[in-house]
Amino acid sequence: MNKIYLLFVVIFLSVGCKSWQATTLKFPDPVDTVDVPVQMQERKTWIIDGVSADNRFLTAHLNDFQQENDSTFRAIISPENEPINPSPWYAFKLWSTEERKIDLVLDYENAKQRYFPKISYNGRDWQPLDSSLFSIEDKKNARLKLALSSDTLWLAGQVPVSSQDVADWCRKLDQHPEVQWSTYGKSKLNRDLWMLNLGAGSDKGKPTIVLLCRQHPPEVTGWEALKPFVETILADTEIARRFRAQYRVLLFPLLNPDGVDLGFWRHNAGGIDLNRDWAYYRQPEIRQTADCIVNEVKKNRGTVVMGLDFHSTYKDVYYTNEEDLLRPALKGFKDKWLGEIKATLPDFSFRESSSNLGKPVSKSWFLTQFGAIGITYEIGDDTPQEVIRQKGRVSAEKMMGLLLGWD
């Protein structure tokens, strides 16, 4: 009897602890996501003719600092490796032993200007540089006119948001009684990968919404849209309470913590664009995230309704899939949802770009893995903050309202 009982316990535990993995997929346009070398910055302070430049903080990016003449300095901004999407991210500090005005050239080498400079005097409160102090030279590099003193001037392509900033936000959300914050894995350089589970009561059988963010480090406006989207779902309103009772949200707020904290333009520490690895899962961040989503849904006998991946690009756009492979019950939802957002925000211009399966990106992974709606939710680099917040709130409200009444 003891042997029979022991065998039963072993079988029970093996079934109870069963984990599922994401299916390996084939896409029409495969991408090689095997590791390639990356160039790490040297963290240091440059001191030249009384002017100092410093990249010793999370998210900083400055490869070299040089003087050209008495009043002109050059900041070299190089990518972590190539080929790479030309998204030249920069973030560093400047100060001078005495008050002086300088010209600063942001030299992107083989890339073009993308992120308009933001400045701060304390590293917390940021504003765009006066446009009269900014110009483009050689159709590529930026030239800035700056007034320096012994007070530190922070300069960045977007407001820097590090893994610590994300953790602070997660910690705040974790105070909500219907949020569970956990670590589900580690990045290539051993930084935590986080998941937040949003919902009331049991997760069993619940349809699920998945939210992803920060696959590409500099895409901060996508992060700024994610926050009000999530906070609207967690609000103490009737629609939000009903939604949390009927639906589950899995939030993955920082998929590329190494790239974010290292100040990379686009890739992870393996030198790969993570949003091209949703087929073979060769990078640890995507392998663990994909497996976590599949495992969470299957062990709770749920279904994925929609996956939203928050990014930034030049203009506001929703990248969507054609609906051929979509589960029949979900067809038409995406068009209705985007239509309601447009109707509610008539003065806010954005477009939809729909395509068939191509490269192994997250929006197509949600479609092929689950038959679910997959959307890359892009916010413009220079979209005003209030518009970003408004779009995040309205998008969440319209999604919840539609899903609660969707047949």
- Ordered by start, the domain boundaries in the chain are 21-35+161-405, 45-156
Position 110 scores a pLDDT of 87
Note the pLDDT of residue 173. Answer: 98
Say what the pLDDT of residue 124 is: 95
Contact between residue 143 and residue 135 where contact means Cβ atoms under 8 Å apart: yes
Residue range 45-156, CATH number = 2.60.40.3120
Q: Pull the structure tokens for residue 184.
A: 């589900």
Burial of 87: CB neighbours in 10 Å, binned 0-12, 13-18, 19+: buried
- What integer pLDDT is reported at residue 7 of this predicted model? 33
Helix H or strand E segment including 150: none
Rounded to 5°, the CA angle 228-60-66 comes to 145
- What pLDDT was estimated at residue 10? 31
Peptide linkage before 83 cis (omega within 30 of 0): yes
Strands 153-156 and 179-186: unpaired
For residue 14, what pLDDT is reported?
34
Q: How far apart are CA 143 and CA 62, in angstroms?
A: 16
- Domain 21-35+161-405 grouped into CATH 3.40.630.10: yes
312 within 8 A of 214, measured Cβ to Cβ: no
User: What pLDDT score was predicted for residue 18?
Assistant: 52
Cα distances (angstroms) measured from residue 27 to each of 9, 280, 356, 361 = 42, 10, 10, 9
Q: pLDDT of the chain along its 407 residues, tens only? A: 344 433 333 333 333 335 799 999 999 999 999 999 999 999 999 999 999 999 999 999 999 999 999 999 999 999 999 999 999 999 999 999 999 999 999 999 989 999 999 999 999 999 999 999 999 998 899 999 999 999 999 999 999 999 999 999 999 999 999 999 999 999 999 999 999 999 999 999 999 999 999 999 999 999 999 999 999 999 999 999 999 999 999 999 999 999 999 999 999 999 999 999 999 999 999 999 999 999 999 999 999 999 999 999 999 999 999 999 999 999 999 999 999 999 999 988 889 999 999 999 999 999 999 999 999 999 999 999 999 999 999 999 999 999 999 85
pLDDT tens-digit series, residues 162-187:
999 999 999 999 999 999 999 999 99
| Three-class HEC string of 50-99 | CEEEECCCCCCECCEEEECCCCEEEEECCCCCCCCCCCCCCEEEEEECCC
Pair 58, 293: CB distance under 8 Å = no
pLDDT in tens, 210-259: 999 999 999 999 999 999 999 999 999 999 999 999 999 999 999 999 99
